[in-house]
Chain A
Amino acid sequence: MNDTLAIARDRILTPAGLGDRELDRLVGALQSPAIDAADIYFQSSRLQSWVLEDGIIKDGNFHIEQGAGLRAVAGEKTGFAYSDELQFPALQQAAGAARAIAGGGHAGRIRISGVPVGHRLYAPLDPIGTLDDADKVALLHRVDAEARRADPRVTQVVTSLVAVQDTVLVISDDGRMSADVRPLVRLNVNVVVEQDGRREQGHSGGGARRDLEFFLDGDRAMGYAREAVRLALVSLEAEAAPAGSMTVVLGAGWPGVLLHEAIGHGLEGDFNRKGTSAFAGRLGERVAAAGVTVVDDGTLPDRRGSLNIDDEGTPTQCTTLIEDGVLTGYMQDRLNARLMGMPTTGNGRRESYAHLPMPRMTNTYMLAGDRDPAEIIASVDKGLYAVNFGGGQVDITSGKFTFSASEAYLIENGRIGRPVKGATLIGNGPDVLTRVSMIGNDLKLDEGVGTCGKEGQSVPVGVGQPTLRVDGLTVGGTSAG
Chain B
Amino acid sequence: MDNRNIDTAHPATDAATNPAEPLDRLRQKIQDLLAEARRRGASAAEAAVSTSTGLEVGVRLGEVETVEHTRDQGLWISVYFGHRKGSASTSDLSMGAIRDTVEKACAIAGHTQEDTCAGLAPASLMATGALPDLDLNHPWDIDVDEAMRLAIACEDAARGADPRIVNSEGASFSSHAGLQVYGNSHGFVGGYPSTRHGLSCAVIGKQDDAMQRDHWWTTARAPGDLDDPAAVGRRAAERTLSRLGARRLGTCEVPVLFRAEVAAGLLRHLTGAIHGASLYRKTSFLLDRLGEQILPAFVRVSEDPLKPRGLASAAFDSDGVATRPKDLVTDGVLSSYLLDHYSACKLGLQSTGNAGGARNLSVDLGDLDRDGMLRALGTGLYVTELMGQGVNNVTGDYSRGASGFWVENGEICHPVEEITIAGNLLDMYRGLVAIGNDCDFPGSTTTGSWLIDRMMVAGE
A residues apposed to B, CB below 8 Å: 50, 53-54, 56-67, 76-84, 93-94, 96-101, 103-104, 133-134, 136-137, 155-156, 158, 192, 194, 198-201, 241, 243-245, 274-276, 278, 354, 356, 390-393, 395, 397-398, 400-404, 421-428, 474-480
B residues apposed to A, CB below 8 Å: 1-3, 5-6, 8-10, 60, 63-73, 85-92, 97, 100-101, 104-105, 107-108, 110-115, 118, 144, 167, 169, 204, 210-213, 243, 246, 251, 253, 281-283, 287, 387-390, 392, 394-395, 397, 399-401, 403, 417-424, 456-460
Say yes or no: B101 contacts A64, CB within 8 Å. Answer: yes
The smallest beta-carbon distance between B106 and chain A, in angstroms, is 10
- Apart from A60-B108, A65-B92, A423-B420, list 9 A-B contacts with CB within 8 A: A64-B92, A78-B67, A82-B71, A200-B395, A243-B251, A244-B459, A354-B70, A476-B400, A476-B422
Contacts of A427 in B (CB 8 A): 418
Contacts of A134 in B (CB 8 A): 111
Contacts of A101 in B (CB 8 A): 1, 64, 67
Say yes or no: A96 contacts B9, CB within 8 Å. Answer: yes
Contacts of B115 in A (CB 8 A): 54, 56, 58
Task: Tell whether A192 pairs with B423 under 8 Å between CB atoms, given A64-B101, A104-B2, A133-B107.
Answer: no
Nearest B residue (CB) for A261: B388
A-B contact pairs, 29 of them (CB 8 A): A56-B112, A57-B113, A58-B113, A62-B89, A64-B91, A65-B90, A67-B91, A80-B69, A81-B71, A84-B73, A84-B91, A93-B9, A100-B67, A101-B1, A104-B2, A158-B281, A199-B287, A275-B167, A390-B389, A404-B390, A422-B392, A422-B397, A423-B390, A424-B388, A427-B418, A476-B421, A476-B422, A478-B456, A480-B251
The smallest beta-carbon distance between A79 and chain B, in angstroms, is 5
The smallest beta-carbon distance between B77 and chain A, in angstroms, is 10
Say yes or no: A94 contacts B69, CB within 8 Å. Answer: yes
Task: Tell whether A426 pairs with B282 under 8 Å between CB atoms, given A78-B66, A78-B67, A404-B389.
Answer: no
The smallest beta-carbon distance between B284 and chain A, in angstroms, is 9
Say yes or no: A398 contacts B283, CB within 8 Å. Answer: no
Task: Tell whether A192 pairs with B281 under 8 Å between CB atoms, given A57-B111, A404-B389.
Answer: yes
Say yes or no: B387 contacts A402, CB within 8 Å. Answer: yes
Chain A contact surface mostly? strand
Say yes or no: B282 contacts A391, CB within 8 Å. Answer: no
Say yes or no: A76 contacts B63, CB within 8 Å. Answer: yes
Tell me the complex Cα distance, A245–B249, Å. Answer: 11
**CB contact between B399 and one of A158, A200, A424, A480 (< 8 Å): that residue:** A424
Nearest B residue (CB) for A55: B113
Contacts of B458 in A (CB 8 A): 243-245, 426, 474-477
Contacts of A59 in B (CB 8 A): 85-87, 108, 112, 118
Contacts of A397 in B (CB 8 A): 204, 211-213
Nearest B residue (CB) for A397: B213
Contacts of B282 in A (CB 8 A): 155-156, 192, 194, 199
